[in-house]
Structure 1
Amino acid sequence: MGNLMSSFFNKEPPPPMVLVPPIFDFPPLSARTRMLVPAYDLLFGKLALCSLFEDYFEQARNLNTRIMLKPLEDPHVDLIATVSGSLDQKSGKAVEGNAIFRWQKDLDDPHTFMDLMVSTSDPILRLRSCAYYPRYQFGAFGIFPLIITKRALPEDYGVMGLRYGSENLSIGTSFMPFPLSGDTPICAWLVGRLGKLSVGLKYIPPYEGKHPLNFKDLKNWSCAIGYGLGSSSPLCPSFNFSLELARSSQLIASFYQHAVVQRRVTNPFEENQIVGITNYIDFGFELVTRINGDKSLESVDESSFQLAASWQANKNFLLKGKMGPSSSSIALAFKSWWRPSFTFSITAVE
């Protein structure tokens, strides 16, 4: 009896623990429709850089509101409503809005889905669908504007595509099933990975006018090479550097790094054994420069750059900032810890 009472009063304290909060916005909304986009436009760190440079940054004097509703009875469906408008009365920009109703077959796999968008602008009604079969690593997708004010381009009648993707290879094509001319504008891509090195090609012919398919014209091709380290899991650090020669005679160099660090914390709302918390720090840089003087592209800047960084302090706060040659922005996003959850962001532009 004495030994039992002694072990009860001399109980060892629990070991110290470090909190690992979830990623603030994972998976991002852009990842839910990645099967509709060529893999060339997502790899080489492009998806992570797009999220770093664009998410939670808004245009000056604009007000955007986004609401996402997901019923508890059927988590396979959700509704995202967006309202945006200008606060500058001189611009004359009217308030625009859209709503997207989405059905997803698997909660953990967003690659098989169907969504329907209703908008106040073109297209007024749009249907998108994608089916992916993991066993065969094969997928098919389609984008069809059902109601549109004016159908002037081939893609206004719809886009269909086929793709194959594995861990080290992605190949696919998209085409317009109802072309306006005898030629069918297409997009084709091929991306391969060998160890830490990735190489990709993409072919896009010009859509303006009646241009025959010309695979020998180098202006219709884009190529990229990238070197990446780390795991694809956002809970692990990663690093990626890439060079791309775009079809618009642009050389694009980009760098992205995702760091996972731990800091000590004393939180009265947590238990005593919580001694630290994991933070996520992201940094990205992109440089775009033109390699020749194409007179048809005089309106495009010869070169530009932008860099951005973000810091997620915990599961509720995210701080982001970016800087470019003409403007700089800072954004603070807050996510509530109760259900339903709300995200509120403030953006300052110089």
Structure 2
Amino acid sequence: MDESKFYAYCLQGDVTAAYEYLRSIPNKSKKYQQLESKYYHRFFGGKPIYRFKTDDPWIRKVLLAYFQYFTSVLTGKNVEEVETRLVQSLVGLISDKDFIDNLDLIEEKLERIFQEKGYRFLGGVTSPFRGPYIWKITDKKNFMVELPHQTVEVTVYFLSNFIMQSWIHFATFGEKFAGGWAKEDGLYYVNESPKKKRTKLDSSEFQVSYLKHEAQHISDYSRFPNLQPKDLEYRAKLVELIYESKPIRLLKKFFYEAKHDPNFPHPYSSYILMTRLSKLAFGIEEIQTLENWKSVDSALIRNWACNLYNGHTEQLIVSGEGTVGVI
């Protein structure tokens, strides 16, 4: 089985397609038989068993509400209807005298309650679905980060002791998860993963795929404050390619992630990036196989990425600092 293809479906928010692909594999090994069983019981068996990393009854109820939401949206249920059920589940847990039907306001109240219980709660959307990050420990460290045409100093907050890591972690049983994110006050890094997947701070996974990627977001937030996620992700991924010594590592990730759907900023930005690189490398705006990319010189890929980045920056400057994007 091609695990990259399987998890790409999950990252695109389509667990049904991932499960059908898994089921289609003949003569599955014991590992994949167990994986199929896990997905069936969580998403399709009707009686999922959820794991809670806390004994607090109130927190368990909040987590259960989100777990049920994840299960529904990841299997193709109507998102608006599922969000309505999520509101109904959460509103009874915030002890508010006035009825609230706005998830953003509900999550603001949840954040305060979690803080009282010793946790940090970050709500909102990891496009295209809701799903909070809830953790207990935060440490910080400052870094100087070189980006195209500038060097920036950033503060990285290292987060650990999670009890929830939004929908991507849930959709993949923890095999994939958001490595971090950027906010105006600094970068947030998920410093918690299985031992076999832990990232060293001097690795390109951290220095390039996390640090430069997220620092580019920080830069763009101040320079183009209204820029939409798909343009932000496109620019940050180009920056990764500019500095990555082995671009095929990134191209493999972008190849499997690519999806022509603007509602999914990460997959869509990968789609745009791969089609434009394919045009430059092969003369055709159609994503090429990984085998074809293995024969392309790394220096050329980095140079093309730099040109695409500079061209995109020029388009944004022409459009003005209020632009929402150009892709």
Question: Given the two structures, how large is their TM-score scaled by the length of structure 2?
Answer: 0.26
TM norm structure 1:
0.24
- Bigger share in strand: 1
